[in-house]
Amino acid sequence: MSEGRDSELADKLAEVGRRVGLAVTDALERIRPAITAVTEVANRPEVRSVVERAEKMLRRRPCLCFCARAHPADVGICEPFDAVISRPHNTDLLGDVDVPLCAPCAAARAAREFTG
Tell me, what amino acid is at 6? D
- Higher-scoring residue by pLDDT: 28, 115: 28
Structural domain span for residue 102: 61-115
Q: Where are the beta strands (DSSP E) in 40-115?
A: 83-91, 95-102
pLDDT band at 1 (very low <50, low <70, confident <90, very high): very low
Domain termination site, one of 40, 56, 72: 56
The reported pLDDT for the residue numbered 80 is 87
Q: What is the mean pLDDT of residues 46-66?
A: 87
DSSP 62: P
The reported pLDDT for the residue numbered 91 is 81
Pair 70, 105 in one domain: yes
Domain termination site, one of 14, 38, 56: 56
Determine contact, residues 97/88, Cβ cutoff 8 Å: yes
Cut 0.85: pTM above it: no
| Three-class DSSP category at 17 | helix
Domain termination site, one of 15, 37, 56: 56
Q: Taking 80 as the threshold, does the pLDDT of residue 116 lie above it?
A: no
The reported pLDDT for the residue numbered 2 is 64
Q: Across the chain, what does the average pLDDT equal?
A: 88
Q: Into how many domains does the chain fold?
A: 2
- CA separation (Å) from 82 to 16, 49, 52, 98, 106? 56, 20, 17, 16, 12
Instruction: Give pLDDT tens digits for 14-53.
Output: 999 999 999 999 999 999 999 999 999 999 999 999 999 8
| Three-class DSSP category at 8 | helix
The reported pLDDT for the residue numbered 66 is 85
